[in-house]
């Protein structure tokens, strides 16, 4: 069976040559409590870039997958069950589930009931990225009807859900993305305004188009973009620090500087809070159910960028970090 491992230390933007497929032989005779699964859908996500910095060379790349149980010696995961597992970049896995599915997103959990939506959604809108958007927005930004919400990396897996949930909650939503096609898609999704951050002057764009000021900022990127957003925030504004993709290719072990606007944060009484989505583990299925229902009700649209085959994982990962994806990037095994 195959797994993608780290071949060398990644410097800057990853390259396909940083990874190598290793084949391995697994003993198909399972011990008590074990399951053997085969991946059907795999995911690549920006967090893997930083995770790779901390892995010894030769380690399997981390990540989630939707897999089918092929053999089982675990009563709660019989043969044929579909699971969402954090098994890493591998096609076949032998695993011993330890935590009952009801207790939230353990290392493996049963496929949530998606009421007929595609299984791959369990890695996107009805999984980790969807819950990141849902809980990060509702719990940290706490938007009120009429608030202006700014979303960066707005055409990605998390951002596209943040903006649409913002609309459902009655916000005035302004999204930023890196191509004109993505901007057009955001407008189709119902964003009130959308801009290509690569081709507009950010200071001018905020001043002209966010005249009422920004109440909520869902930050996926950090860096200069965040600096300009903070400058235009209203008194009592709330910022959810979700991601900082502008610096993921930096060497975090050394000091690095980003532009920042302390004055506005202080004088405008702004609350800025970082979070990891697993903080909301206890409510995991509530988030998924709400997002699923909004999709079924036609209030939330979903797009995926699908790459074909297990072999394509490194390239798909590079694509996410360089903005080739619209919506959730997934891999069909
Ligand atoms: P996306 O699907 O949004 O893909 C990443 C996107 O980031 C790209 O498509 C690209 O779009 C954009 N991007 C890349 N480089 C830059 C840059 N230098 N400046 C601005 N935008 C850039 O990924 P996710 O939705 O999975 O993740 C979005 C963010 O949320 C990430 O920062 C991720 O780490 C974070 N995250 C945090 C979690 C948490 O628990 N805190 C959980 C999950 C995700 P474009 O063409 O618009 O540039």
The answer to whether 325 touches 46, Cβ cutoff 8 Å, is no
Distance 153 CA to ligand 1 centre (A): 5
pLDDT tens, residue by residue, 152-191 = 999 999 999 999 999 999 999 999 999 999 999 999 999 9
> What is the C-alpha separation between 186 and 177, in angstroms, rounded?
9
177 pocket-lining for ligand 1 (C-beta < 6 Å): yes
Nearest ligand 1 atom to the CA of 132 is 42
Ligand 1: nearest atom to the Cα of 245 = 32
Structural domains for the chain: 2-124+302-332 (3.90.180.10), 128-278 (3.40.50.720)
For residue 322, the CA-to-ligand 1 centroid distance in Å is 9
For ligand 1, whether the C-beta of 320 sits within 6 Å is yes
Q: Which atom of ligand 1 is nearest to the CA of 158?
A: 25
Ligand 1 atom 35: residue of nearest CA: 243
pLDDT given at position 105: 62
Is any atom of ligand 1 closer than 6 Å to the C-beta of 245?
A: yes
Q: What is the mean pLDDT of residues 57-69?
A: 97
Determine which residue's CA is closest to atom 20 belonging to ligand 1.
221
Which residues, at least 6 apart from 71, have a Cβ–Cβ distance to it below 8 Å?
Answer: 28, 30, 35, 36, 79
Going from the Cα of 156 to the center of ligand 1, the distance in angstroms, rounded, reads 6
Is any ligand 1 atom within 6 A of the Cβ of residue 47? yes
281-295 pLDDT tens trace: 999 999 999 999 999
Sign, CA dihedral 290-95-321-224, equals positive
Our answer on whether the CB atom of 63 is closer than 6 Å to any ligand 1 atom is no
pLDDT value for 102: 45
Handedness of CA 330, 41, 163, 263 (dihedral sign): negative
Query: For the segment 2-38, what is each residue's pLDDT rounded down to a tens digit?
Result: 999 999 999 999 999 999 999 989 888 999 999 999 9
Predicted TM-score (pTM) of the model is 0.97
Q: What is the per-residue pLDDT for 101?
A: 46
- Mean pLDDT of the residues in the chain: 95
What SS3 string covers 236-299? EEEEEECCCHHHCCCCCCCCCCCCCCHHHHHHCCCEEEECCHHHHHHHHHHHHHHHHHHHHCCC
Highest mean pLDDT among 107-111, 250-254, 322-326: 322-326
Query: Which of 153, 195, 279, 284 should be mutated for ligand 1, with most atoms under 8 A from CB?
Result: 153
Nearest CA to ligand 1 atom 1: 156
Q: How far is the CA of 37 from the centre of ligand 1 (A)?
A: 29
Distance (Å) from CA 51 to ligand 1 centroid: 15
pLDDT of residue 287: 98
């Amino acid at each position: 069976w195959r797994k993608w491992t780290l071949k060398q230390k990644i410097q800057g933007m990853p390259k396909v040559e940083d990874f190598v497929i290793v084949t391995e032989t697994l003993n198909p005779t399972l011990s008590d409590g074990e399951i053997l699964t085969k991946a059907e859908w795999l995911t690549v996500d920006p967090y893997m870039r930083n995770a790779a910095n901390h892995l010894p060379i030769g380690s399997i790349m981390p990540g989630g997958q939707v897999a089918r149980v092929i053999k089982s010696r675990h009563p709660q995961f019989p043969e044929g069950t579909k699971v969402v597992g954090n098994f890493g970049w591998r096609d076949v896995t032998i695993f011993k589930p330890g935590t009952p599915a009801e207790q939230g997103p353990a290392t493996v959990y049963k496929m949530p009931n998606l009421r007929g939506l595609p299984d791959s959604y369990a890695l996107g809108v009805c999984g980790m990225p969807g819950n990141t958007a849902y809980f990060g927005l509702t719990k940290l930004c706490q938007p009120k009807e009429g608030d202006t919400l700014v979303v960066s990396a707005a055409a990605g897996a998390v951002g596209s859900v943040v903006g649409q949930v913002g609309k459902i909650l009655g916000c005035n939503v302004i999204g930023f993305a890196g191509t004109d096609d993505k901007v057009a898609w955001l407008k189709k999704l119902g964003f009130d305004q959308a801009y290509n951050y690569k081709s507009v002057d950010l200071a001018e764009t905020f001043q002209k188009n966010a005249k009422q000021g920004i109440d909520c900022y869902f930050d996926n990127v950090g860096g200069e973009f965040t600096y300009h957003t903070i400058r235009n925030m209203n008194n009592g504004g709330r910022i959810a620090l979700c991601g900082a993709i502008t610096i993921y290719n930096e060497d975090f072990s050394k000091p690095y500087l980003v532009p920042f606007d302390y004055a506005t944060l202080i004088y405008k009484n702004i609350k800025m809070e970082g979070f990891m989505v697993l903080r909301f583990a206890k409510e995991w299925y509530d988030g998924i159910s709400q997002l699923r229902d909004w999709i079924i009700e036609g209030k939330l649209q979903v797009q995926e960028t699908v790459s074909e085959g297990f072999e394509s994982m490194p390239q798909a990962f590079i694509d996410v970090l360089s903005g080739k994806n619209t919506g959730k990037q997934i891999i069909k095994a």
